[in-house]
A = this chain, B = another copy of it.
């Protein structure tokens, strides 16, 4: 995966959190993850398919971080990852990949998007099942750290 492919995800995620949750975030150093994976308490996952290949995108939050983001986005305090919070993670996932899709279209990638799926459960792990490595990118923000994972396998 080259920078032209990955950068749209990084800027789209930061854009969505800045716009929707007034939260500035910075992407940290990316690493290649071949099997091990980020742990999160809640993750939004979405699949991508195109004539050029297929892949998957995930964004994972700890409980503390997602509850802080929920507070900022909705102005409501939630004390656990309930259905409002999972819906919000689904929305963030949708907006993040929607923004990335638009940016990627400018560089020649055209994706069909699947429906997002949100997984919740303490310290779950995500394994992207493609022959290509998964990129793991940590983000820092004033409410804490979160992660995205991007996997793409050219056809």
Contact = CB atoms under 8 A, between A and B. Distances in A.
Contact of A115 (B90, B118, B123, B129): B129
Interface size class of A (residues with CB under 8 A): 35 or more
A127 B121 contact: no
Interface of A: 35, 43-50, 54-56, 58, 83, 86-87, 90-91, 93-94, 112-130, 151, 153
A49 B110 CA distance: 13
Contacts of A116: 56, 129
A153 B115 contact: yes
5 contacts: A47-B56, A49-B112, A54-B113, A117-B126, A119-B124
A57 B83 CA distance: 20
